[in-house]
Copies of this chain bind each other. A is one copy, B any other.
Amino acid sequence: MAPLTSRMRAPAAPSRRRHDTARSTGPKSLKTVGEAMTLLEQFTVERPRLNIPALQKLMGLPKTNVYRLLSTLESLGYLEKDRASGYYHLSLRLYEIGSRSLVNFNLRDLGRRYLQQLNERTEETVILSVLDKGDVVHIDVLPGRKRLSATSHVGARLPAHATASGLALLAFSSPEVVDGVIGRGLAPVTERTITSPAALRGVLGEVRRAGVSSNYGGRLREVFGVGAPVIGRSGFAEAALAIAVPLPYIGPGDEARLKRAVAEVAGEFSKALGYVPGR
């Protein structure tokens, strides 16, 4: 091996990049941009309004820097400041850009009718999700008609192994995807979350056989989830339809009924995408 410290032009040598920030992600990244985006990420559903001291604590940056980032993002129109309180919140401008990222697959538009169908049929919260970098991302949600429905937000990103959607997606994904998820580690969310690789593989096998997944409190202790894959031409899952029911609403026989409903609607969706069940 050649010494990596050499500074020569190195015509054929791989020549390590200078920094290797975090985990060797490409060339040097623009620091300020990263900080600005990190700041935007601090605004969550639970914590939608933040001020300078709060962000200071969250990000560990000097007050001045936070202030400058905020001012910049505000003048660009991505944040709005409540004049009186001094608190900032995300603006609709971000919603615009974010929405555009969905045009790449119009799954959401296609899925609307099936979501509605499932929603009407079960009266529960129904969810359409995709797998993105090993996580489940909800791209559409129709709230249940009953008084309380599981908190599922459009745009939410969740660990695949802890949700019914995720299990349905993983069961019908390529082995590499599953290995990737397992490789990252199966972090527990509740005490019922699947955390062992073997257990996960076992469950995925069952899901593959049954065509439906279920999740009894693996993400939220009080929520029961049922999921089914939406399969495209490739034979792999392109999305998952799921339903989330608060445990108090679950009676005997409901589980089977819900599973059937989800599986049927997801099956129709798959057919619409050009999937032919006969292998």
Chain A contacts to B: CB under 8 angstroms: 25-30, 32-34, 36-37, 40-41, 43-45, 48, 68-69, 71-78, 89-104, 109, 112, 116, 130, 132-133, 137, 139, 142-143, 153-157
Contact = CB atoms under 8 A, between A and B. Distances in A.
Contacts of A137: 92, 95-96
A130 to B, nearest CB: 7
B98 A30 contact: no
Contacts of A72: 29-30, 33-34
25 contacts: A26-B71, A27-B71, A29-B72, A29-B75, A30-B68, A30-B72, A32-B32, A32-B33, A33-B36, A33-B69, A33-B76, A34-B72, A34-B76, A37-B76, A43-B97, A43-B101, A44-B100, A48-B104, A89-B104, A92-B139, A94-B94, A94-B100, A95-B101, A95-B155, A99-B156
Contact of A143 (B28, B36, B78, B112): B112
A48 B71 CA distance: 29
